[in-house]
Amino acid sequence: MKALVINCSPVRTGATAEIVKTVCSELSSRYDTKSICIDDYKFAFCRGCRSCHATAKCVMPDASVICDIMNEFDQADVIVSVAPSYWADIPGQYKSFIDRVTPWCNTHEPHATIKPGKKGYAIALRTGPNMPECERLIGSIEHFYGHLEIECKGRLGLTSVENKADVEPRKEEIISFCKGI
């Protein structure tokens, strides 16, 4: 079984990356685990041309980059998205990725597909104490999973996490969450 853990932040070395590292460490005893950072992939914003609604393919020149990421989704049995709050929502880079995945979404026919039976998990973090903000991020991720027909199985919101040092006191909470994956 394979697990894909996604750092949805453009920051490869911050608190989100530290959580991704902890999740990967915990899952690696049960899964062949891979992590990616959304910022490692360069792609343009969706132009909203809707060509993919008729063809199930993106017509933009950099479509192969999105196909590469979706290949990672296709190979995984479990997908964990870890997203920090950027102005009360998921980071723009991850939102842009979601927009570009429209060819795979079940909102139109034809659509591309990934293998069925995938389980999705969402982890959200934010600097302040407001848990409803984490719920908003998790809602965005779960909405995305739903359109890919990935079954949402678990969610974790972490408040008052601003930097890597703030992750250490929350590790047991993260580890406990991972035991359910």
pLDDT digits (tens, 9 = 90+) for 83-133: 999 999 999 999 999 999 999 999 999 999 999 999 999 999 999 999 999
Q: Which of 163, 139, 60, 149 is nearest to 111 (CA)?
A: 149
For residue 143, the model assigns a pLDDT of 98
Interacting residues of 43 by C-beta distance below 8 A, sequence separation 6+ = 60, 62, 65, 66, 96, 97, 100
- Are 5 and 23 spatial neighbours (Cβ–Cβ below 8 Å)? yes
pLDDT of residue 171: 97
Phi, psi of 36 (to 5 degrees): -135, 155
Contact 47, 63 (CB under 8 A): no
Per-residue pLDDT reduced to its tens digit, 1-41: 999 999 999 999 999 999 999 999 999 999 999 999 999 99
Read off the pLDDT of each residue in 64-71 and give the average, rounded to a whole number. Answer: 97
Q: Find the mean pLDDT for residues 50-67.
A: 95
d(Cα 121, Cα 84) in Å, to the nearest integer?
Answer: 14
Q: How far apart are CA 76 and CA 22, in angstroms?
A: 18
pLDDT of amino acid 59: 94
Q: What is the mean pLDDT of the chain?
A: 97
pLDDT (tens digit, 9 = 90+) per residue, 129-160? Answer: 999 999 999 999 999 999 999 999 999 999 99
